[in-house]
C-alpha cells in the first residue's frame, strides 16, 4: 500500500521501517476502501507514522482518549502564534481524530462507557414484547422505541421512578409537541405509541391508571386533501436533475424511484446492487412493513438513470447498497438523507406543497395512477399496501374529476 502513495525511496523506506508497519498499512488500505483521496491517504500515513513513534502499542492495556491527546500534544509542537492558532487547533484535532480511528480499527481503543439511561431496561423489555409477542415489524418497533424514549427523556427526573409518572406528564408532553409544530395525525400516532407502552407497563406492574387516560387528537375519516405535487411539478423536479455531476446523477435516480414506484425513503435506502436484475429487467424492493420482497418491472427511464449513476457517479467501495454518500468516508446513504434531497429542490423550483419531504412523491404517484384510471387495488399493489383502506389515504379526493362534474350543465336534466 505504501508504495502506491510514496515514490521516493527514502520516504518509502521510512514508512516501512517505522513501528507497526503492517497495522498502519492495513488501516490506510481500509481508508482507501472508504473512498478517501490519494492526498488524504498520504496525510493519514504520515499521522500514523508520527503517532506510532509516540505510544507503546505492545502494552497489554488499551489506550484511552486522554492518553491519545497527551501523546499528540507531546509529539507535535503546534504553533503558538496567534495568527496560526486556528490552523494549529485544526491540525491537532485532525491528528487526534486519525489516531483514534486507527486504534479503534485495531481494537486498541478503550471506549468510554456511557452511563445507561435509568429507563433503558423498561424500553428494552417493551421492544422485546413488541417483537416476540406482538410480532411487529422492526421498522415499527424502532419507531415506537424512539417515541417512548424521547418522552421518558423529557419527563424523567433523577429522584423519580417510572411509577411516579402521571397522566398530567403525558398530557403536558403531547401539548408541548403540538405547540412545536406537530400535526394532529403525528400527535395521534405519538399517543398510540405511549398508550401501547403504558398498557404494557401496567401489565408488568410498573405503573397504573395511565394508558386508559391518554387522549389522542380526533382524526376524521378521509380528512384532508392529498399533499403531493401535481404530476407536472414532478416532471419539473425530475428535469431539474439534468447535470452531469455525481450528485445530480445519484439524486435523479432516487427521485425517479420515489415518483415512478411510489417507494418510501427507507425502501430506497435499502436497495442493494443485487436488487436490480438487469437481465430480467426486474427491480426487487424490500417492504419493511410487510416484511417481504416485492418485484417490479424495471422502468426503462428509471433503469437508465440507475445505470448512468452506477457507471459515472457511484464510488468504488465494498458496500453493496445501491446509493452511497459522495464524500469520504463512503458509506450507505441513510433514509433520513433522502427527504432533504427532495425538499431542497422543490423549494428551489418554487413548487408549493404543504409537505416537501420524499413522501410527497408517494402521494403524487398515487394521484397520477388514479387520474390514469387505475383501480384502488392496482394502486395499492404499486404502493405495497395490504388493503384498499390504506390506499384511500393517498387518493382521498380526485380534484380533476370533481372539476369535470362541476362543469357539467345539469339544467337539461329533468
Cβ 283 vs Cβ 296: under 8 Å? yes
CATH number of the domain located at residue range(s) 231-402 in this protein: 1.10.443.10
- pLDDT at res. 408: 47
- pLDDT at res. 275: 92
- pLDDT at res. 93: 85
- pLDDT at res. 253: 94
- Specify which residues 330 forms β-bridges with: none
Fold type of domain 120-213 = DNA polymerase; domain 1 (1.10.150)
- pLDDT at res. 389: 63
- pLDDT at res. 414: 46
- pLDDT at res. 309: 93
pLDDT digits (tens, 9 = 90+) for 281-303: 999 988 776 677 888 899 899 99
Characterize 207-219 residue by residue with b for buried, 16 or more Cβ atoms within 10 angstroms of its Cβ, and e for exposed: beebbeebebeee
pLDDT digits (tens, 9 = 90+) for 171-196: 999 999 888 878 888 888 999 999 99
Residues of the chain where predicted confidence (pLDDT) is lower than 70 = 74-88, 112-115, 219-227, 289-290, 386-414
Residues forming CATH 1.10.150.130 domain(s) in the chain: 120-213
Strand order in the sheet with 292-297: 276-277, 282-287, 292-297
0.85 exceeded by the pTM? no
Residues involved in catalysis: 264, 289, 359, 362, 385, 394
- pLDDT at res. 407: 54
Residues forming CATH 1.10.443.10 domain(s) in the chain: 231-402
Amino acid at each position: 500500500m505504501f508504495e502506491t502513495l510514496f515514490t521516493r525511496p527514502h520516504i518509502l523506506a521510512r514508512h516501512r521501517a517505522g513501528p507497526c508497519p503492517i497495522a498502519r498499512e492495513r488501516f490506510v488500505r481500509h481508508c482507501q476502501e472508504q473512498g478517501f483521496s490519494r492526498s488524504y491517504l498520504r496525510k493519514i500515513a504520515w499521522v500514523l507514522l508520527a503517532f506510532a513513534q509516540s505510544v507503546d502499542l505492545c502494552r497489554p492495556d488499551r489506550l484511552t482518549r486522554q492518553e491519545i491527546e497527551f501523546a499528540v500534544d507531546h509529539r507535535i509542537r503546534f504553533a503558538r502564534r496567534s495568527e496560526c492558532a486556528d490552523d494549529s487547533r485544526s491540525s491537532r484535532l485532525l491528528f487526534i481524530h486519525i489516531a483514534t480511528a486507527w486504534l479503534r480499527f485495531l481494537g486498541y481503543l478503550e471506549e468510554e462507557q456511557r452511563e445507561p439511561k435509568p429507563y433503558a431496561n423498561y424500553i428494552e423489555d417493551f421492544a422485546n414484547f413488541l417483537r416476540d409477542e406482538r410480532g411487529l415489524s422492526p421498522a415499527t418497533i424502532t419507531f415506537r422505541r424512539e417515541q417512548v424514549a424521547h418522552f421518558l427523556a423529557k419527563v424523567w427526573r433523577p429522584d423519580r421512578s417510572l411509577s411516579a409518572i402521571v397522566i398530567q406528564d403525558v398530557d403536558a408532553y403531547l401539548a408541548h409537541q403540538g405547540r412545536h409544530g406537530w400535526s394532529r395525525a403525528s400527535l395521534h400516532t405519538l399517543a398510540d405509541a405511549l398508550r401501547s407502552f403504558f398498557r404494557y407497563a401496567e401489565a408488568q406492574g410498573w405503573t397504573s391508571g395511565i394508558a386508559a387516560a391518554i387522549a389522542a387528537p380526533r382524526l376524521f375519516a378521509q380528512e384532508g386533501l392529498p399533499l403531493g405535487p401535481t404530476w407536472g411539478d414532478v416532471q419539473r423536479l425530475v428535469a431539474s436533475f439534468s447535470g452531469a455531476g455525481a450528485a445530480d446523477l445519484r439524486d435523479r435516480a432516487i427521485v425517479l424511484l420515489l415518483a415512478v414506484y411510489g417507494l418510501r425513503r427507507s425502501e430506497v435506502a435499502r436497495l442493494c446492487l443485487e436488487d436490480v436484475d438487469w437481465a430480467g429487467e426486474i427491480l426487487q424492493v424490500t417492504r419493511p412493513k410487510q416484511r417481504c420482497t416485492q418485484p417490479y418491472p424495471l422502468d426503462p427511464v428509471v433503469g437508465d438513470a440507475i445505470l448512468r449513476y452506477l457507471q459515472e457517479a457511484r464510488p468504488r467501495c465494498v458496500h453493496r447498497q445501491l446509493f452511497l454518500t459522495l464524500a469520504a468516508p463512503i458509506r450507505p446513504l441513510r433514509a433520513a438523507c433522502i427527504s432533504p434531497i427532495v425538499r431542497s429542490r422543490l423549494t428551489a423550483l418554487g413548487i408549493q406543497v404543504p409537505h416537501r419531504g420524499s413522501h410527497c412523491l408517494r402521494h403524487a404517484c398515487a394521484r397520477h395512477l388514479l387520474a390514469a384510471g387505475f383501480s384502488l387495488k392496482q394502486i395499492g399493489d404499486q404502493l405495497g399496501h395490504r388493503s384498499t383502506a390504506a390506499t384511500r389515504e393517498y387518493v382521498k379526493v380526485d380534484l380533476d374529476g370533481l372539476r369535470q362534474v362541476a362543469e357539467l350543465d345539469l339544467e337539461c336534466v329533468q
